[in-house]
Chains A and B, each alone.
Chain A
Amino acid sequence: MLKATSNKRKQREEDSIEEPKSLQNSSLPLNGNLELNDESGDEQSDEEDSDGVQEPFPELDPASDSDSDSFDEDDVEGLDEDEESYPDDSGSDTSVADDVTPFPKPRTIISNITGQPKRVYPEIEPDYDSDSSTEEDPTRIGNVPVEWYDDLPHVGYDINGKKVLRAARGDELDKFLSTVEDPSTWTSAMDKKLGMEKPLTAEELDIIQRLQSAENPDANYDPYEPTVEWFTGKGKEEVMPLSSAPEPKRRWQPSKWEKQKVMKIVRAIRQGRILPSKPKTSSDAPQYYNIWSNEDPSSSHVPQLPAPKRRLPTNSESYNPPPEYLPSEEEKKQWEETEKEDRERDYLPQSYPSLRLVPAYDQFIQEQFQRQLDLYLAPRLQKKKLNIDPESLIPKLPSPNSLKPFPLYKSLRVMHESRVRCISVSPDGLWSVTGDGKGHVLLWEVTVGRPVKRWKFDAAITAVEWCPRKDVTFFVVALEETLHAIIPPNLSEPILRATRTTLAPSELPANGSAPTVVKWTSDLSGSSEDKPILSLRLPASSGSPKQVVFHRRGDYFATVCDAPGQISIWIHQISKQHSQSPFKKMKGAVQRVLFHPIKAHFLVATQRYVRIYDLAAQQLLKTLQPGMKWISSIDIHPSGDHLIVGGYDRKLCWFDLELSDKPYKVLRYHTRAIRAVHFHPTYPLFASSSDDGSIQIFHARVYNDMMTDPLIVPLKILRGHKVSDGLGVLDIKWCSGSPWLVSAGADGTAGVWFS
Chain B
Amino acid sequence: MSEETASYSAVFTTKTQYSLPRTKYMIPRSWARFHLSQLINKVLALAKPVPFEFLIRGEVLRSSLAEWCAERGVGEEETLEIEYLESIMPPEQMASFEEDDWVSCVSCRIPGRFLSGSYDGQFRIYDASQKLIRAVPVHNAPITSTCWLPSGSGVDNERVVATASQDATVKLTAVSLDAEGSEPRPLASLHLHTAPISSVSSNPDEDMLITASWDTTIGIWTTMIPDADETLPNEDAEPRTKKRRKVSAEGKRKLPSVVLKSHTKKVSGAAFTSNSNAVSCGLDSTVRTWDVEAGVCTNTITAAEKPFIHLGLSRVSTLSRVFVASTDRTLSLYDLSSGRSASAAPTLSFLHPSLPSCIATSTTDEWRCLTGSYDGIARIWDIRSAKAAVSSFHVFENEPLKSKGDRKILSLDWANGVVCAGGENGMEVWRVGESGTVLS
Residues of A within 8 A of B (CB): 404-405, 408-409, 411-413, 415, 428, 430, 447-450, 452, 489-490, 492-495, 737-740, 754-755
Contacts and interface: CB of A to CB of B under 8 A. Distances in A.
B288 interface: no
A452 B142 contact: yes
B329 A492 contact: no
Nearest to A448: B410
Nearest to B405: A415
A494 B374 CA distance: 35
B177 to A, nearest CB: 28
Contacts of B283: 737-738
B327 A740 contact: yes
Given A490-B168, A495-B194, A408 B328 contact: yes
A430 B168 contact: no
Contacts of A409: 329, 354
Contacts of B142: 450, 452
Q: How big is the B interface, by class? A: 20 to 34
A643 B283 CA distance: 30
Contacts of B98: none
B270 to A, nearest CB: 16
A450 B410 CA distance: 11
B408 interface: yes
Nearest 9 CB-CB pairings of A with B: A492-B194, A405-B305, A754-B327, A411-B355, A490-B141, A490-B166, A490-B167, A450-B102, A412-B374
Contact of A447 (B141, B168, B309): B309
B266 interface: yes
A412 B305 contact: no
Do most interface residues of chain A lie in helix, strand or loop, or is the interface mixed?
Answer: loop
Contacts of B119: 450, 452
B265 interface: yes
B196 A739 contact: no
Given A448-B104, A450-B102, 5 more contacts: A412-B355, A448-B357, A448-B410, A449-B408, A754-B328
11 contacts: A405-B328, A409-B329, A411-B327, A428-B195, A448-B357, A450-B104, A450-B119, A738-B265, A738-B307, A739-B305, A755-B307
A475 B428 CA distance: 37
A490 B141 CA distance: 7
Contacts of B354: 409, 411
Do most interface residues of chain B lie in helix, strand or loop, or is the interface mixed?
Answer: loop
Nearest to B357: A448
Contacts of B329: 409, 754
A430 B168 CA distance: 15
Interface centre among B168, B195, B327, B357 (most CB of A within 10 A): B327
A740 B214 CA distance: 17
B206 interface: no
B293 interface: no
A187 B327 CA distance: 112
A755 B328 contact: yes
Interface centre among A411, A492, A495 (most CB of B within 10 A): A411
B76 interface: no
B96 to A, nearest CB: 20
Interface of B: 102, 104, 119, 140-142, 166-168, 193-196, 214, 239, 265-266, 283, 305, 307, 309, 327-329, 354-355, 357, 374, 405-406, 408, 410
Contacts of A449: 408
Contacts of B140: 489
A405 to B, nearest CB: 4
A428 to B, nearest CB: 8
B165 to A, nearest CB: 8
B142 to A, nearest CB: 6
B37 to A, nearest CB: 38
Contacts of B266: 430
Given A490-B196, A754-B327, A754-B328, A413 B406 contact: yes
A490 B195 CA distance: 8
A467 to B, nearest CB: 17
Contact of A492 (B168, B265, B328, B406): B168
A471 to B, nearest CB: 12
A376 B44 CA distance: 96
Nearest to B167: A490
Contacts of A411: 327, 354-355, 374
A411 B307 CA distance: 14
A755 B141 CA distance: 29
B23 to A, nearest CB: 52
Contacts of A408: 328
A412 B406 contact: yes
B217 to A, nearest CB: 12
B220 to A, nearest CB: 20
A31 to B, nearest CB: 138
A404 B327 CA distance: 13
Contacts of B374: 411-412
Contacts of B327: 411, 447, 738, 740, 754-755
A428 B408 CA distance: 24
Nearest to A405: B305
A755 B327 CA distance: 7
A737 B102 CA distance: 27
Interface centre among A490, A492, A739 (most CB of B within 10 A): A490
A448 B239 CA distance: 33
Contact of B408 (A404, A412, A490, A739): A412
B141 A489 contact: yes
Given A489-B141, A755-B328, A404 B355 contact: no
B239 A493 contact: yes
B355 A755 contact: no
A404 B194 contact: no
A755 B303 CA distance: 14
A448 B196 CA distance: 13
Contacts of A413: 406
Nearest to A489: B141
Given A490-B167, A490-B168, A490-B196, A754 B355 contact: yes
A404 B166 CA distance: 31
A129 B405 CA distance: 148
Contacts of B355: 411-412, 754
A339 to B, nearest CB: 57
A428 B213 CA distance: 13
A337 to B, nearest CB: 56
A415 B403 CA distance: 13
B128 to A, nearest CB: 28
A404 B305 contact: yes
B305 to A, nearest CB: 4
A492 B239 CA distance: 13
A409 B328 CA distance: 9
A490 B166 CA distance: 6
Contacts of B408: 412, 448-449
A754 B104 CA distance: 20
A412 B327 CA distance: 11
A450 B266 CA distance: 18
Contacts of A754: 327-329, 355
Contacts of A450: 102, 104, 119, 142
A412 B409 CA distance: 12
Contacts of B328: 405, 408, 754-755
Nearest to A739: B305
B228 to A, nearest CB: 20
Contacts of B167: 490
Nearest to B373: A411
Nearest to B354: A411
Contacts of A415: 405
A499 to B, nearest CB: 13
A449 B102 CA distance: 11
A308 B408 CA distance: 71
B102 to A, nearest CB: 5
A692 B274 CA distance: 54
Contacts of A740: 327
A413 B404 CA distance: 13
Contacts of A447: 309, 327
B57 to A, nearest CB: 33
